[in-house]
Amino acid sequence: RKFKKFNKVRVMRALDAVALPQPVGIPNESQALSQRIAFSPNQDIQLIPPLINLLMSIEPDVIYAGHDNTKPDTSSSLLTSLNQLGERQLLSVVQWSKSLPGFRNLHIDDQITLIQYSWMSLMVFGLGWRSYKHVSGQMLYFAPDLILN
């Protein structure tokens, strides 16, 4: 528990280091918060291309389910393929999150908590995005070799 408190203090100090110079006098709480999150437009313009390039470089590879489309679809074969695909996607989510800037700087408990609370949302969003992108949302595009209508 002491580590979590220490980590919160460290994060607040990091935010203070990024904050703009404070005016003379004692600012109230809302002024201090607005100063912490305020960035100049020049900083935003300079940060966007490197951030986009970074996100594109860590984009995960296409994950295949390993489903054999030559065999008849039974409930057990579909569930087995979905289970194997889920395992591969979960490993991909963990690897992807480790490559995000600043993620490894977090305390290990915070890293685990973030992954535990977000893996399902990331996987569902990915399913929705693939379904929209490849089959116009008419079918569920789990993987290139596993598309369900």
Residue whose C-alpha is closest to residue 36's, from 19, 51, 52, 24:
19
Tell me the domains of the chain and their CATH numbers: 61-148 (1.10.565.10)
Whole-Å CA distances, 57 to 42, 89, 96, 119, 149 = 24, 18, 11, 20, 32
How far is it, in rounded angstroms, from Cα 104 to Cα 119?
A: 17
- The residue-averaged pLDDT of 129-141 equals 93
Residue whose C-alpha is closest to residue 110's, from 14, 12, 3:
3
Q: What is the pLDDT of residue 129?
A: 93
Q: What's the per-residue H, E or C state across 20-51?
A: CCCCCCCCCHHHHHHHHHCCCHHHHHHHHHHH
Per-residue pLDDT tens digits for 49-90: 888 888 888 888 899 998 888 888 899 999 999 999 999 999
Q: Which residue has the higher pLDDT, 123 or 17?
A: 123
Q: What is the pLDDT of residue 8?
A: 52
Per-residue pLDDT tens digits for 13-59: 544 444 444 444 455 545 544 444 455 555 555 557 888 888 888 88
Q: What is the pLDDT of residue 69?
A: 85
